[in-house]
Structure 1
Amino acid sequence: MVEPDKMDQRVKRLNDKLKEKLGLRGKTLEKRLKRAGRTLPKHLRREGAFIVKAQQQATNPKMARLIDQEALDRSFAMFRHYLKDINPTERRKDKIINFLGLLVFNLVVIAALYLLFLLWKGLV
């Protein structure tokens, strides 16, 4: 049987890790997982839905007995393992580099099109 207090502590730790590592906003785990979207792999989205469902069931003593403790522990372990490898500063740096790369590529394409236009009009 899952103890609601212990479950709430584990969910709070997971919630804090999601905010720290992925920068997700939201008050509840459910909202943060929804905001994560495709940031998380499919199997983790499924495990997250299982954790949210188990958290809701843990509030009712009769339903708390039905929660599979091993599967719940495995779900938390999967999240812990996935989030352990994420470096927030590297993620931020990669986003900036990708944005700048896209910006440079667009400028090169626009310059090439402008040059082609000038060649076509015979101005160059």
Structure 2
Amino acid sequence: MQDPLDIETRAQNLSAALEKRLGVKGRSLAHRVRRAGRRLPRRIREHAHLLAEADAVRDNIKISRQYDAAQIARAYEHVSDYLATIDRADARRGRILSILAVLAFNFILLFVAFVVFLRMRGIV
């Protein structure tokens, strides 16, 4: 059986890490995990959902006995290790570079279309 205080502290730590590393805010751990969505890999998301479920039922002794303490500890380690590797500044740079790449591609495409149009009109 898991200690409810242990699950609660792990859930709070994970909630804080989700907010710090991904900028995800929410009322509870389950809400934050849902809002993180595809920013988390599938396996990490599954572990985070397990922790959110365990956190939601931590006060109900009969239901909380169904969760394996070792499994919850492993899930917490996997999620916290993954979140520790995320660099928000690098992710922001990646998003900005992605947007700039799309804009550059669109400008090149527009230029090529303009040259083709001029070529068809016989101007170039």
Same-fold status (TM-score > 0.5):
yes
Paired positions, count: 124
**In the TM superposition, what whole-angstrom CA distance separates every residue of 1:11-51 from its partner, at most 9, and x where no partner exists?**
11101111111111222211221122221111111111211
**In the TM superposition, what whole-angstrom CA distance separates every residue of 1:58-111 from its partner, at most 9, and x where no partner exists?**
110122222200000000000111111111111111111111111111111111
1:100 paired residue number? 100
**Given residue 32 of structure 1, which amino acid in structure 2 is its aligned partner?**
R
Secondary structure, in 3 states, of the residue corresponding to 1:26?
A: coil
**Given residue 108 of structure 1, which amino acid in structure 2 is its aligned partner?**
I
Secondary structure, in 3 states, of the residue corresponding to 2:57?
A: helix
Matches within 5 A, 1:33-44: 33-44=33-44
> Unaligned 5+ residue runs, structure 1?
none
> Unaligned 5+ residue runs, structure 2?
none
1:57–1:67 Cα contact (<8 Å) kept: no
2:72 paired residue number? 72
Please give the alpha-carbon distance, in whole angstroms, between the structure 2 residues aligned to 1:56 and 1:5. Answer: 12
Query: Structure 1 stretches (4+) deviating beyond 6 angstroms?
Result: none
What's the TM-score once normalised by structure 2's chain length? 0.92
Secondary structure, in 3 states, of the residue corresponding to 1:58?
A: coil
Q: Percent identity?
A: 29
2:48 paired residue number? 48
